[in-house]
A and B are shown apart, each in its own frame.
Chain A
Amino acid sequence: MPFTLAWTSLRRHGTRTLLAMLGVAVAAAMLLDMVMMSTGMRESFRKLLLSRGFQIRLAPKGTLPFDTDATIENTSGIIRVLRQNPDLTTISAVLGGTIHIPRGDRVIASSALGLDPRVQGDYELLSGRDPLAPDEIAGNADFIKATGARVGDTLTVASGYDPQTREYSGARKLVLTGQVRFLYGAARQRAAAMRLATLQQMSPDKADDASLFMIRVREGVDVDSAYRSIKGKVFTVNVISTEFALDQVDERLRYFRQLAVILGSVSLFVGFLLVTTLVTVSVNERIGEIAVMRALGVSRAHVVQQIVLEGVAISLVGAFAGLLLGLVTGRYLNGILKSFPGLPEAIDFFLFQPRSAWTALGLLALSGIAAGVYPSFRAASLPIATTLREEAIA
């Protein structure tokens, strides 16, 4: 009977109940978005770091990968040292730089990565083929669009350009072999890939430099021991494990998470207040009925149960609607934040994880129970005779 009474009580003021559920849905959507945001960025970044199976990265001393323009010198020497360790299956050096492509009366500037195209640690091929030969280049959609080139076209590519004298340095003719997508590229960032040696040759001051090393460890080998081994042999670099990188990301995203926790808590509290207010108002309106139920022999426990059920029902229905709303708004906001300058486009700010949804649902269910506790105990503790007398007078 408590279920029937709770259900009919909610239906009695259908519009009010619906509005309360919508209010909870908005709070739940915000809570879910905040839970997704607080955990999603880290998880998304972890997935991105491990997407190509590289567990260790080497960056210039004191920096993070592509954090600055600093480079690692003596790349060939470092590779020789690393190859002595049989546990390191893939060692991919990457050099970052800027290239300039004259097209008609315009000069297109673009980021460029010199890398080992056979490894594809930084990009995935969408069409065409990898730039395997020394005079080949592959570009992303923004690069191809800006240059207006098509696969098979030959481009003049320079590593330096002086706009005052309109002179190019390190210019080479490169053939566009395909369209690629850079895993760590920012939105609307023009970028191209070529062999490491090609970019090094175009940049005389970086003839044996790299911006980053990406290293895969043999399957079954402890990554930590490989990490320690590298640290003990190569002293001129910053050795970065995935966990270390994630810690760094955590550190940099700390403000986002704090914001998410605060806004999530506020949403939860607003939802709680909304349900408490509605259930309290509903109980106040039915105080005579509740006193009669108690007079008829309905136990306090069943009165509490009925009222808590009302709170939980509003919270749960609102929460489920809020999950859908949260997913839609999360997706929309994710689209906006992904275009944030300088951040990899592949990073998701609002990553849906079942755990996030369960966490949000669990918190809302608990808040629904808590919201019903005060009005239900108030109702169950009514002095029956006094309440009936006051109701009769009223």
Chain B
Amino acid sequence: MAATAERTGTPPTAEHISELDVAIEVGPNGPALGAILGAGLGVFYLGFLTTLTEMAVGVHDWLIFQDRVGPLSGKTTMTGVAWLVSWAVLHLAWRKREVPFLPVAALTVALMVAGNVLMLPPVFQRLAVD
């Protein structure tokens, strides 16, 4: 039916949609929400480390993984590690589950907003110690 419609150039019909409905089962949304929440955590980790680096000299110095790059080398490396670990945990926990969409989406938005705020120079510079 779909092939016939494609050949004749006619717009999709109810048969196309029902054929798609029958042919495709979406499956649990856990893997997708794990990736989405993981990304939100990644953004938050980066913002958190950015501000923490300014507030704690010890953290600042510890995060200098490369002298030429400075603490940015440690901030980004640790963010990457924490993001991947978090995502892996979420994926393993949710990969076969149907997870409530709105609470996870709301939490992701909150984490991204917080992370981006903490990355704003007026914010972390105000909290910086001399």
- Decide whether A and B assemble into one complex: no
Query: B residues engaging A (CB < 8 A)?
Result: none
